[in-house]
Structure 1
Amino acid sequence: MSPLRRALARSPLVPWIIPVVAVVLWQLIDTEYLPKPTEVAEAGYRLLLSGELAEHVWVSTQRAFTGFLIGGIIGLVLGLVNGTSRILANLLDTSIQMIRTVPHLALIPVVIVAFGLGEEGKVFLVALGVAFPVYLNTYNGIKNIDPALIEMAQVYRFSPRDLYLRVIIPGAMPSILVGVRYALGIMWMSLIVAETIGSDAGIGYLANRARDFVQMDIVVLCILLYAILGKLSDVVAVLLEQRLLRWNPAFVRTPSTRRTTKETSR
């Protein structure tokens, strides 16, 4: 690999080239309805000074990660039990797949009747959106474990606990973390829908209020906030992958593997 290609592959600045170019073009192009980036930045600065921006971001973040924790645990448990039990998979998987295809918007009237306009309904919608990607990836990760590893564990008379902790969960972990990474994106999209239910705080509330008063700079600011929070969540997921999959050379390249790759390229 040439020095230029190596630098492009490793530089932390390269991923930001396209966003920066997009912002510059956005500033240069004249549009009648879309505010300039400078106007959006000014709106954000005003809200930041007033403390309103931090308050709404904090409320939305609490809702998002509460729903993520609940939905993630449910999806993980269902994936583990269905992935290791044919009887439970035959009983539950069809129902789970049917619920998965129901759009969030169609559930809003039911959620309002069941939970009212409080926080429970918003957290429920986020948890529902998060549970399915975690479940699917956990289930598929277990199904793709090498059967020879299961047979070896049985030969060594692993207890059910050891089988889960030493074979099944580590073997499915790469797929589980892919599900977590995907679920973090679904989490913010679900939150957008959830915050349309009688909210009095949060990024969605801020965007809806700005829309009613045709404050497009604040509307665009809210869109950018969702994008930034989604990127930060993805960074956390990548760091989690690197920590939990240190044993897997496909995710973390150790110095020895880097030397081997360099020698092979020569």
Structure 2
Amino acid sequence: MSITQIDPAYTTAMREVRPTPAADGQVRLKPATARGRQVPRWIRRTIGPVTLVLIWHAASVTGVLPSEVLAGPATVLSSATRLVESGELQDAVVVSMRRAMSGLLIGGSIGVALAVLSGLTRLGEDLIDAPMQMLRTVPNVALIPLLIIWFGIGEAPKIALIALATAFPLYLNVYAGIRGVDQSLIEAGRTLGLGRVGLVRNVILPGALPNALVGLRYSLGIAWLALVFGEQINATAGVGYLMANAREFFQTDVIVVCLVVYALLGLAVDLVVRSLERIFLSWRPSFTGT
């Protein structure tokens, strides 16, 4: 009895296989379904944004979307070119990046340190976790008046607001990553003679790394959100300062330019974190989609 008689699905699958010549002259089999995967992914990922811009342009040209409500893509591009030529946009981006990264560094360091203490020891959990769970439910925007009273109206309250906003996502994810390490791995490490420090360094922290990188991505996104609010506190420079000035003069084109800058900055830092995931998590095979 042949295999086709045993499993009719085998015959169907073999019909969908096409022979393809290899470089060494041998004929190799290639699934027919692979032919639909020839379009580069970066092209497919740009289809959505390009479609939105085309719809936006069509609505602006036809008058469906008046310029008083929202400037068209051509006007926005012209305003962006003018801001770049004058150097205003570059200076604003540098100032905003410095604020966001400073706040993330401070808040992230505090969040990770507290998560490690809380995750590794029950005493740390009892002392740290309850206050952190209470504080994370307080809206960060509601703390702006207190931050102004404590730190004045300079750079300190802006950075402090970003630090507060970014500390909690990292704390929650690192803590969950530590407590989510498989107990059997801990027992295996002890069987191999690893002490407490060895377990933490070789088992627990590597196991918590995927969650930590997810928390970093969340914190980076929240950092830009907090930056928008922070730059409304008597700012004299930054992307938020450009938006505030444009709001006063109803310049929707400049506002859209600033929003696009925020989005591109967020996309750039997210790509950096994705690259870190590929580097540090290369040992962990994961599902990448079909």
Shared fold (TM-score, shorter chain, > 0.5)? yes
Question: Distance between the aligned counterparts of 2:226 and 2:46, measured in 1?
Answer: 26
1:104 touches 1:193 (CA, 8 Å); kept in 2? no
Question: Distance between the aligned counterparts of 1:115 and 1:158, measured in 2?
Answer: 46
- Under a length normalisation based on structure 2, what TM-score does the superposition of the two structures give? 0.83
Name which of 41, 46, 57 aligns with 1:27.
Answer: 57
Name which of 256, 274, 282 aligns with 1:238.
Answer: 274
Could you say which structure has the higher helix fraction? 1
Unaligned runs of 5+ in 2: 1-30
RMSD: 1.8
**Greater shift after overlay, 71-80 or 14-23?**
71-80
The code of the aligned residue for 1:6 comes to R
The code of the aligned residue for 2:269 comes to S
Name which of 129, 132, 135 aligns with 2:171.
Answer: 135
Question: Distance between the aligned counterparts of 2:197 and 2:233, measured in 1?
Answer: 42
Question: Cα–Cα, structure 1 residues 37 and 195, in superposed 2: closer, same or farther, change >3 Å?
Answer: same
Match for residue 75 of structure 1? Answer: 111
Q: Are 1:189 and 2:220 counterparts?
A: no
Please give the per-residue CA displacement for 1:1-41, whole angstroms capped at 9, x wherever unaligned.
72354335x52111111100000100010312100011111
Please give the per-residue CA displacement for 1:92-118, whole angstroms capped at 9, x wherever unaligned.
111101111111210110000001111
Match for residue 162 of structure 1? Answer: 198
Please give the per-residue CA displacement for 1:128-155, whole angstroms capped at 9, x wherever unaligned.
1111111111011111101011122223
The 3-state SS of whatever aligns with 2:38 is helix
- Under a length normalisation based on structure 1, what TM-score does the superposition of the two structures give? 0.91
Question: Distance between the aligned counterparts of 1:197 and 1:158, measured in 2?
Answer: 51
Q: Percent identity?
A: 42
The 3-state SS of whatever aligns with 2:283 is coil
Match for residue 90 of structure 1? Answer: 126
Question: Distance between the aligned counterparts of 1:4 and 1:54, measured in 2?
Answer: 44
Question: Distance between the aligned counterparts of 1:194 and 1:4, measured in 2?
Answer: 50
TM-aligned CA deviation for residue 160 of structure 1: 3.0
TM-aligned CA deviation for residue 157 of structure 1: 3.5
Question: Cα–Cα, structure 1 residues 151 and 224, in superposed 2: closer, same or farther, change >3 Å?
Answer: same
Question: Distance between the aligned counterparts of 1:181 and 1:204, measured in 2?
Answer: 22
The residue correspondences of 1:3-82 to structure 2 (distance < 5 A) are 3-7=34-38, 11-29=41-59, 30=63, 31-32=65-66, 33-82=69-118
Match for residue 104 of structure 1? Answer: 140
Larger relative contact order, structure 1 or 2 (CA cutoff 8 Å, min sep 6): 1
Please give the per-residue CA displacement for 1:153-197, whole angstroms capped at 9, x wherever unaligned.
223332333222111110111111111111111110111111111
Pair member with larger Rg: 2
